[in-house]
């Protein structure tokens, strides 16, 4: 029994004269914060120091560059006037998409052995769908392809798209009986070859689970058939005749002026043939008479 007292007493003395020295520690109760646009966001930051009673607290936001949010006891930039701090926990009021990002809470305790502690909090500001911009061709000929586009660049997370024809939803799955493909991620609706039955009122709807879905105004797509009337036929025939006539005239003028090699060669051959046909050999009787006169 006495031995036990002898062992525990020195240990008690060590605890009394050499207290534990825990370094500054910084923690957060929520490392990822998701809030809706135009609401308040609470970024938790809690600390515990060894000796320091008045540590320095700083908040920074990391983007392309690191910028101060809270420094030297005051908020900076766009955070001034719409943010508050309690201990080291920061509250942002009326957040927008620009506030999304990675934030660092740093606590400096100069009297502690380990003087710096930090924690990271990621803020995501969710934005409900906006009315998407839609592109629908006004007129498409039967048998031709067509592409309808839909895009909402503002919603966070990214929107999923649905297309409606005459207020009836179009299938997103590829089925053998349909002649189109619909990509819900890009919002593109493609027709391989339109038919008269594809004519109608088309609208696109964007949704992302944050707010109510939004649609663009319906737009009518008209399907026309390619028809040949007599006026078009006559115009094509007259145009073809004039083209052939102009080609013939151009060839004739070129040959007359000797622009072509073949024309120059044919002219040369014609001259040579004329020279050959114009040559008359001498009369042998004439030479005979001359010889007799000399004798």
pLDDT in tens, 90-105: 999 999 999 999 999 9
Q: At what angle do helices 230-257 and 261-278 cross, to 10 degrees?
A: 50
Residue 79 CB-density burial (10 A; 0-12 exposed, 13-18 middle, 19+ buried): buried
pLDDT in tens, 274-284: 555 554 555 55
| Residue 82 predicted with pLDDT over 90 | yes
Q: How high is the pLDDT of residue 245?
A: 84
- Mean pLDDT for 78-97 is 95
Residue 50's pLDDT band (boundaries 50, 70, 90)? confident
pTM equals 0.63
Rama region for 238: left / alpha / beta (φ>0; ψ in -120 to 50; rest): alpha
pLDDT in tens, 156-184: 999 999 999 999 999 887 777 788 999 99
- Mean pLDDT for 217-237 is 80
Which residue, 161, 90, 154, 162, is CA-closest to 126?
Answer: 154
Which residue, 112, 103, 121, is CA-closest to 55?
Answer: 112
- In whole numbers, what is the pLDDT of the chain averaged over residues? 83
Q: By percentage, how much of the chain surpasses pLDDT 70?
A: 76
Q: By percentage, how much of the chain surpasses pLDDT 90?
A: 57
Pairing of strands 219-224, 139-141: parallel
Domains in the chain, CATH or no CATH each? 25-126 (2.60.40.10), 133-224 (2.60.40.10)
| Residue 219 predicted with pLDDT over 90 | yes
Q: How high is the pLDDT of residue 114?
A: 74
Higher model confidence: residue 254 or residue 289? 254
């Amino acid at each position: 029994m006495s031995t036990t007292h002898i062992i525990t007493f020195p240990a008690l003395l060590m605890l009394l004269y050499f207290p534990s020295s825990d370094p500054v520690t910084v923690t957060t109760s929520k490392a990822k914060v998701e809030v809706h646009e135009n609401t308040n966001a609470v970024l938790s930051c809690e600390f515990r120091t060894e000796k320091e009673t008045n540590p320095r607290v700083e908040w920074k936001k990391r983007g392309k560059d690191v910028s101060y949010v809270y420094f030297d006891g005051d908020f900076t930039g766009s955070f001034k006037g719409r943010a508050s701090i309690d201990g080291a926990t920061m509250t942002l009021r009326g957040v927008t998409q620009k506030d999304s990002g990675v934030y660092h809470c740093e606590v400096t305790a100069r009297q502690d052995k380990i003087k710096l502690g930090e924690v990271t909090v990621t803020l995501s500001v969710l934005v409900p769908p906006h009315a998407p911009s839609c592109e629908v061709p006004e007129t498409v000929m039967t048998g031709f392809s067509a592409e309808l586009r839909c895009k909402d660049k503002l919603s966070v997370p990214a929107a999923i798209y649905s297309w409606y024809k005459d207020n009836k939803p179009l299938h997103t799955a590829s089925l053998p009986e349909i002649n189109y493909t619909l990509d819900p991620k890009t919002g593109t609706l493609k027709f391989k070859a339109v038919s008269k039955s594809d004519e109608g009122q088309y609208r696109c709807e964007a949704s992302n689970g944050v707010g109510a879905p939004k649609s663009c105004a319906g737009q009518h797509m008209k399907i026309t058939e390619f028809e040949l009337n007599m006026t078009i036929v006559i115009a094509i025939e007259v145009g073809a005749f004039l083209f052939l006539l102009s080609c013939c005239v151009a060839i004739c003028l070129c040959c007359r002026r000797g622009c072509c090699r073949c024309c120059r060669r044919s002219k040369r051959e014609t001259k040579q043939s004329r020279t050959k046909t114009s040559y008359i050999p001498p009369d042998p009787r004439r030479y005979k008479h001359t010889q007799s006169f000399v004798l």
